[in-house]
Structure 1
Amino acid sequence: MSADPAIGIYGSAGRMGRTIAALLPAFGVRLAGGADAGDDPAPLARDADVLVDFSAPGALATNLAAARGACTPIVVGTTGLTGAHHDLIDQAAAEIAVLQTGNTSLGVTLLAALVCEAASRLGTDWDIEIVEMHHREKVDAPSGTALLLGEAAAAGRGEELANDSVVGRAGLTGRRIEGTIGFASLRGGSVAGDHQVVFAGDGERLELGHRAESREIFARGAIRAALWLRGKPAGRYTMAEVLDL
């Protein structure tokens, strides 16, 4: 392992990839290179001390295979993942260190911990609704961050989000079912990312939120996560562990 760490970026031509590359010098980190659609991910995996993946769900399988082949740890920040993608991540984590997250912001990581704590203490008679807004170019909804926050709320209640989530409402939906976690997604303009978790009780509301003012916060968190992951044994890790939560 080199004394001067080198990070390789999958999805280097995208918004996040470009932002991460621009910030690496401030962390004293070298850029090992980048790979994008149509590129072979294997050479970059061999050249890097740690990888970050902000490409696309369709590229995850080959990127993970390259990381496994080179025994290189990888931070997966790509959103829009399915259960099949998470199975691939679990398989990779048996051989290499993998940190997967829907959001690399340190503030969002702490917010998720607060949401989990609030959900565990307030109970199911407090309704939970998650509202998120992103720029007009975002292609997945709800956002990975909204789902991360929903998972934190469900975990606080000792439940699985898949059993409780309600995504969007239209028409005659009937009354709200106790214990469900609702999601509303807004898209427009150049919003980097706004998330609000609303706990609505009888006669009072608790609102916990986060606003991203710049994409740089995600890039800084991704770099910090990558440096933390470097040298870790095989396993699946989270951003909460980066902050020792």
Structure 2
Amino acid sequence: MARIGIIGSAGRMGQALQAAVAAAEHDYAGGVDRDGDLAALAAHSDVMVDFSAPGALEANLEAAIAAGVPMVVGTTGLAERHHWLIDGAAVSIPILQTGNTSLGVTLLAHLVREAAQRLGPDWDIEIVETHHRMKVDAPSGTALLLGEAAADGRGEALGDVAQRGRDGLTGARVPGAIGFASLRGGSVAGDHAVHFLADNERLTLSHLAENRGIFARGAVRAAHWLIGRAPGRYTMPQVLDL
């Protein structure tokens, strides 16, 4: 059993995480939210899981480093600066950051990478994601994770080929681009589809999330896996040994 602390415990994901910790028969070490005592939580945790907000990440990392506690970062909407902070923290503690903690999405990204590599550049790639009306970032962290997998399969950097949003007279599709479309509405927990399109045929790889419990279960599994690891930056595929 592990003592798992939750940063962002009052949010919807925080509540789902508490249920997942109990279901996995781990110990809930407590939780914090805005202005909470991070140092106390870190001191009582074997590992912490952060689903708070990008603006809180720096302080959360500092508390984890000070206590020498591993941390899973599932917060989305991170900027380049946040990844620099995570890289810096990984020198001192084991840390796993991902845009999606679902085990199914982790396997999907693996399949997307394989498909992109084997099908080659003649196949167009489009990623469509749907989320609830309250989601604040787009494309979703999961969509970007899948885009990175596709670009990696082609030996490219996503930033060089991503096409995010089309409006007006955009002209013909840019060869080799990876397109993104974001839909928002209702209470959708998260639907993602990666379309591979060629002349006269299409292949779609998709994942449908029915509730947040799948993300919580994956995060708890990742947190338990992270305990005892050497300092460094880890990924969800490593948890599944992909």
**TM-score category of the 2 structures, normalised to the smaller one:** over 0.9
Structure 2 residues without counterparts, runs of 5 or longer: none
Matches within 5 A, 1:138-149: 138-149=135-146
Tell me which of 98, 104, 109 is aligned to 2:106: 109
Q: Deviations over 1:140-171 (max 9, x none)?
A: 00000000000000000000001110111000
Residue 222 of structure 2 is aligned to residue 232 of structure 1: no
Q: Which residue of 1 aligns with 2:178?
A: 181
- SS, match of residue 131 in structure 1: strand
Residue 69 of structure 2 is aligned to residue 72 of structure 1: yes
Which runs of at least 4 in structure 1 moved beyond 6 Å after TM superposition?
none
Alpha-carbon distance in structure 2 between the residues aligned to 1:36 and 1:25: 20
TM-score (norm 1): 0.98
Q: Which residue of 2 aligns with 1:14?
A: 11
Q: Which residue of 2 aligns with 1:82?
A: 79
Alpha-carbon distance in structure 1 between the residues aligned to 2:24 and 2:207: 25
Shift of 1:30: 0.7
Residue 241 of structure 2 is aligned to residue 244 of structure 1: yes
Alpha-carbon distance in structure 2 between the residues aligned to 1:139 and 1:196: 20
Shift of 1:174: 0.9
Residue 53 of structure 2 is aligned to residue 56 of structure 1: yes
Q: Which residue of 2 aligns with 1:38?
A: 35
Identity %: 67
Alpha-carbon distance in structure 2 between the residues aligned to 1:126 and 1:33: 48
Shift of 1:5: 1.4
Alpha-carbon distance in structure 1 between the residues aligned to 2:49 and 2:78: 16
Q: Deviations over 1:191-227 (max 9, x none)?
A: 0000000000011100000000111000000000000
Tell me which of 120, 124, 141 is aligned to 1:123: 120
Q: Which residue of 1 aligns with 2:90?
A: 93
Q: Which residue of 2 aligns with 1:198?
A: 195
Alpha-carbon distance in structure 1 between the residues aligned to 2:148 and 2:207: 16
Paired residues, what number? 242
RMSD after superposition: 0.7
TM-score (norm 2): 0.99
